[in-house]
């Protein structure tokens, strides 16, 4: 029965991930260049990026709590998508720092609230076959690549002023895609759920959240200034797009091979391996800007810095936040990692880039990973040091 439901749900789930991450893929690599074209400095760009990510601290928790309380996940998903579309028009209209700051706050609040709702909905549909999450989620990465290449070409041909209109178009498609999915109609076995706060207070859960904060903090410089960094060294928008795409292609490989990877290796090995490769990535990038081959290699490490870590973390979050805690579990993970970690990382990256350029900014990212490795080692030594195939 789970297989039959999975086959029916697969195209609906994967299509939403595809379009959602198309918008993310259109925004993250190029929004810094767009802000730069409006005359904003590195500190202002870092502040705008921090606001974009910072709303993820609150938004997923508010909507996750309300979705768990009302049992109407898809209804609130549609509202978040509609309000994302509404605020996207502000990106077209406003060009002042304050106007964009307020617009980005509203846009990102509802945009970030949508994903944890859909993650929870996805795992409900994958009941009994949760190990296939990677096969569904990889379509988000495909959408990211499509958007990166398409928008890079669009900007090269038609100038960066078209950029806000592309974001509004993608926001419209996401809203329409929410009408293909429906509230959960079939009843699954009700899982008992412990107190939400008792789960969060478990040492391994707290440690996982701290490590998630640090690894996303380390990505702040990459997400905010990587395209600017490459542009300053003379790389075209199209080549920049391909470098972003290389990273996401590597990420797709992890999602595709998620099942055999986690059946063969322990959580301890995979997470520590992902952190080691992430450290190598942040050390390499500022040292090899003139070597395209080495930059490509550094981008393949995105498979570890994002794909491998995220695949393990989100599976474990779903495993321990059961029943009535499911949406809030995904929300607290999103808030801690991409919210707290991402916002602080981008904010500090702006000041670091302004004062010391790529060396200082990526150096801070590398130090964050060292701390993450120390904390992860302690957490992984607990009874969670087992293969994911045994936890399902």
Instruction: Work out the burial of residue 180: count CB atoms within 10 Å of its CB; fewer than 13 is exposed, 13-18 middle, 19 or more buried.
Output: exposed
Average pLDDT in the 162-183 region? 90
- Of residues 68, 315, 313, the one with CA closest to residue 196: 68
Task: Give dist(CA 280, CA 48) in Å, integer.
Answer: 28
Average of per-residue pLDDT values in the chain: 84
Residue tagged 């978040």 (tokens): 80
Return the closest-CA partner of residue 182 out of 63, 64, 81, 74: 74
Mean local confidence (pLDDT), 193-202:
70
| Average pLDDT for 32-43 | 91
Reported confidence tier of residue 53, pLDDT bands at 50, 70, 90:
confident
**Residue range 127-135: mean pLDDT, rounded:** 71
Least confident among 273-287, 322-336, 366-380:
322-336
Query: Rounded distance, CA 201 to CA 211, Å?
Result: 15
d(CA 318, CA 187): 18
Whether residue 127 is predicted with pLDDT greater than 80 in this model: the reply is: no
Q: Which pLDDT score, from 0 to 100, does residue 391 have?
A: 41
- pLDDT at 358 exceeding the cut of 90: yes
pLDDT digits (tens, 9 = 90+) for 174-193: 999 999 888 765 444 444 45
Comparing CA positions, the residue from 5, 112, 179 lying closest to residue 334 is 112
pLDDT for the residue numbered 107: 95
User: Which of 215-219, 221-225, 268-272, 302-306 has the least mean pLDDT?
Assistant: 268-272
Q: Residues 36, 162: contact at Cβ < 8 Å? A: no
Confidence of residue 307 (pLDDT cuts 50, 70, 90): confident
pLDDT in tens, 66-118: 766 767 788 889 999 999 999 999 999 999 999 999 999 999 999 988 887 88
pLDDT at 385: 45
Rounded average pLDDT over 44-68: 82
Q: Which long-range contacts (CB under 8 A, 24 or more apart) does 371-376 make?
A: 371/214, 372/210, 372/211, 372/214, 372/215, 372/218, 372/275, 373/272, 373/275, 373/276, 373/279, 375/207, 375/210, 375/211, 375/214, 376/207, 376/211, 376/271, 376/272, 376/275
- Would the pLDDT of 371 be above 90? yes
Other beta carbons less than 10 A from residue 290's beta carbon? 9
**Is the predicted pLDDT of residue 392 greater than 70, yes or no?**
no
Is residue 381's pLDDT more than 60?
Answer: no
Residue 337 scores a pLDDT above 90:
no
pLDDT for position 382:
46
Is the model's pLDDT at 368 over the cut of 90?
A: yes
- Quick one: pLDDT at residue 130? 65
The mean pLDDT value for 286-299 works out to: 96
Domains of the chain by range and CATH?
2-181+197-390 (1.20.1250.20)
pLDDT at 86: 96
pLDDT score of 311 more than 80 = no
Q: CA 62, CA 65: separation in Å to the nearest integer?
A: 5
Lowest mean pLDDT among 26-30, 49-53, 190-194, 200-204: 190-194
Q: What pLDDT score was predicted for residue 379?
A: 72
Percent of the chain with pLDDT over 70: 86
* Of 387 and 134, the one with more pLDDT: 134
* Residue partners of 293: CB distance under 8 A and separation at least 6: none
d(CA 176, CA 81): 9
Q: What whole-number distance in Å separates Cα of residue 22 and Cα of residue 30? A: 13
Q: What band does 147 get if pLDDT is binned at 50, 70 and 90? A: very high
Rounded to whole angstroms, what are the CA distances from 282 to 147, 182, 285, 291? 24, 42, 6, 15
Kindly give, in sequence order, each residue whose CB lies less than 8 Å from that of residue 253, ignoring residues fewer than 6 positions away.
Answer: 303, 307
């Amino acid at each position: 029965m789970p297989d039959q439901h999975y086959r029916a749900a697969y195209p609906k789930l994967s299509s939403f991930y595809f379009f959602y991450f198309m918008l993310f893929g259109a925004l993250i690599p190029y929004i810094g260049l767009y802000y730069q074209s409006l005359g904003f400095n590195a500190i202002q760009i870092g502040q705008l990026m921090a606001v974009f990510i910072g709303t993820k601290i609150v938004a997923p928790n508010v909507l996750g709590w309300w979705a768990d309380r009302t049992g109407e996940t898809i209804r609130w998903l549609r509202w978040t998508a509609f309000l994302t579309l509404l605020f996207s028009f502000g990106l077209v209209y406003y060009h002042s720092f304050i106007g964009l700051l307020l617009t980005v706050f509203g846009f990102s609040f509802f945009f970030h609230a949508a994903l944890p709702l859909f993650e929870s909905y996805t795992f409900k549909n994958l009941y009994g076959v949760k190990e296939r999450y990677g096969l569904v989620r990889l379509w988000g990465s495909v959408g990211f690549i499509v958007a990166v290449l398409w928008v890079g070409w669009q900007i090269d041909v038609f100038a960066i002023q078209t950029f806000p209109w592309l974001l509004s178009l993608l926001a419209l498609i996401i809203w329409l895609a929410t009408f293909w999915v429906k509230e959960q109609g079939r009843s699954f076995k009700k899982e008992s759920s412990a107190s939400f706060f008792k789960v969060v207070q478990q040492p391994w859960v707290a440690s996982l959240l701290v490590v998630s904060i640090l690894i996303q903090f380390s990505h702040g410089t990459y997400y905010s200034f990587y395209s600017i960094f490459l542009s300053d060294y003379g790389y075209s928008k199209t080549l920049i797009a391909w470098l972003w795409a290389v990273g996401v292609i590597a990420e797709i490989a992890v999602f595709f091979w998620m099942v055999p990877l986690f059946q063969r290796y322990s959580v301890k090995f995979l997470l520590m391996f992902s952190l080691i490769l992430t450290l190598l990535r942040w050390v390499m990038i500022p040292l090899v800007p003139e070597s395209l081959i080495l930059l490509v290699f550094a981008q393949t490490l995105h498979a570890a810095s994002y794909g491998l870590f995220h695949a393990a973390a989100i599976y474990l979050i779903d495993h321990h936040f059961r029943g009535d805690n499911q949406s809030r579990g995904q929300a607290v993970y999103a808030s801690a990692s991409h919210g707290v970690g991402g916002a602080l990382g981008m904010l500090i990256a702006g000041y670091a880039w302004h004062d010391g350029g790529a060396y200082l900014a990526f150096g801070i990212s590398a130090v964050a990973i060292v701390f993450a490795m120390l904390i992860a080692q302690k957490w992984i030594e607990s009874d969670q040091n087992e293969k994911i195939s045994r936890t399902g």
